[in-house]
Amino acid sequence: METTTLPAPAGTLATDILGIWKLETRRDVDAAGVGRIDPGLGADPLGILCFAPGYFAAQFMKRDRSASATSAGGQAPANNSSAVGGYDAYFGTYTLDVSAGTLTTVLEGSLSPSNVGSRFVRDVRVAGNKLTIQLATTAPDGAHVTRTLVFARLM
């Protein structure tokens, strides 16, 4: 299926973030600059992110959800939600600190019950039809990583 990219609305971060976004890339890099692959969602997951004023929804899926897909076991990585069987989905409310360039989400619902009520802060920016979200989290082995997600605007 081919996707069509629409022009981004002009305005501030509060208006620029509104819409539906398709994940283009998701990359984890450790302190030495070495790329890491999250086993829960894999190297190249599918994803969609939707923003309406004050509310958001997100879904991510490992491309190959065969029997080898990992399940959440225990605690989520620091500053992150947990995938279950190669899938992660959650929704809730959000606020923006435009001057700091941060997005704060509060999860009202989540595939993983332990994530309900979680609060996450991410760096966020919109440039044209691209939305970039960046956060510090941990790899399954506990190593600190920086995750960068780049989305393309669908509408």
Give the tens place of pLDDT for each residue, 116-155: 999 999 999 999 999 999 999 999 889 999 999 999 999 9
115 C-beta neighbours (distance < 10 Å), count? 21
Residue 138 in domain: yes
Residue 5 in domain: no
Residue 71 in domain: yes
Q: Which domain holds residue 87?
A: 13-153
Given this model, what pLDDT does residue 77 score? 62
Residue 71 pLDDT more than 60? no
Residue 6 in domain: no
Sequence letter at residue 30: D
Beta bridge partners of 44: none
Label residue 69 by pLDDT band (50, 70, 90).
very low
Return the CATH number at 111.
2.40.128.280
Question: Once rounded to an integer, what is the mean pLDDT over residues 77-81?
Answer: 65
- Report the b/e string of 30-62 with b at 16+ CB within 10 A: eeeeeebebebbbeebebbbbbeeeebbbbbbb
State how many domains the chain has: 1
Residue 141 in domain: yes
Residue 104 in domain: yes
Residue 3 in domain: no
Residue 65 in domain: yes
Given this model, what pLDDT does residue 44 score? 95
Given this model, what pLDDT does residue 70 score? 47
- Condensed to tens digits (0 to 9), the pLDDT of residues 2-15 reads 444 444 345 799 99
